[in-house]
Amino acid sequence: MNNKFSTQKLRFLIFFIPAVVLVSSFNQPPAKAKLKWMTLAEAQTAMKTNPKPLLIDLYTDWCGWCKVMDKNTYSNEKVITYVEDKFYPVKLDAETKDSLNWNGRVFKYNKQYRINEIAIYFTGGDLSFPTTIFVNDKTADPQNIAGYMKPSELEPIAKYFGEGKFGKQSFESFQQNFKSEW
């Protein structure tokens, strides 16, 4: 009788465990899409052969809203598709201790202010995190938008720059005819 119980128990485990594993594998949420971020150096190299504007995500490791924007905005499939098509997306840690080159100039970490000088350059000294920065080309002044943005808030701004309207049409005029798709 003890052997019969062990055999039944073994059969049960042999069929039950694989069934549970199989069923639970179907319940896994699909992996979230991720934006393919570039370094500033990679983007500069790419701009030489295929000119596109930059979208720079200026962040810090301690910034809570930066993490929320990564999770809610930069993981949105429509944002990813549009940004990767129209921009070189650059993720830039404002506190990096690495020396960074931009437009023939070297930017270094400033120990006194605990910030990389490039963050000051790109924001005009108005440091806030997260900040989304648009740079049309290496000679253009960076245009920055401070603060967290949902996909629906980023869309008109990204499309204003991505469609080449910046400098040709006011943002207010662009918004009047803008139709949200995200």
- What's 168's domain CATH number? 3.40.30.10
On the CB side of 163, CA atoms within 13 Å amount to 13
User: pLDDT per position in the chain (182 positions), as tens?
Assistant: 555 656 666 555 565 555 544 445 455 555 567 999 999 999 999 999 999 999 999 999 999 999 999 999 999 999 999 999 999 999 999 999 999 999 999 999 999 999 999 999 999 999 999 999 999 987 789 999 999 999 999 999 999 999 999 999 999 999 999 999 99
73: in domain: yes
115: its two tokens: 């910030």
Specify the DSSP class assigned to residue 89.
E
Q: What pLDDT, on the 0 to 100 scale, is given for residue 33?
A: 78
67: in domain: yes
CB 132 within 8 A of CB 144: yes
53: in domain: yes
Q: What pLDDT, on the 0 to 100 scale, is given for residue 125?
A: 95
63: its two tokens: 């910034």
Q: Residue 101: beta bridge partners?
A: 106
54: in domain: yes
Q: What pLDDT, on the 0 to 100 scale, is given for residue 138?
A: 72
CB 174 within 8 A of CB 156: yes
Which amino acid, residue 105? Answer: R
72: in domain: yes
Residues 6+ apart with CB under 8 A from 13: none
76: in domain: yes
Tell me the pTM.
0.82
Number of domains in the chain: 1
Q: Residue 116: beta bridge partners?
A: 109
Q: What pLDDT, on the 0 to 100 scale, is given for residue 21?
A: 47
On the CB side of 2, CA atoms within 13 Å amount to 0
CB 95 within 8 A of CB 60: yes
56: in domain: yes
21: in domain: no
Other C-beta atoms closer than 10 Å to the C-beta of 150 total 14
State the residue range of the domain holding 54.
40-176
CA distance 65 to 79: 17
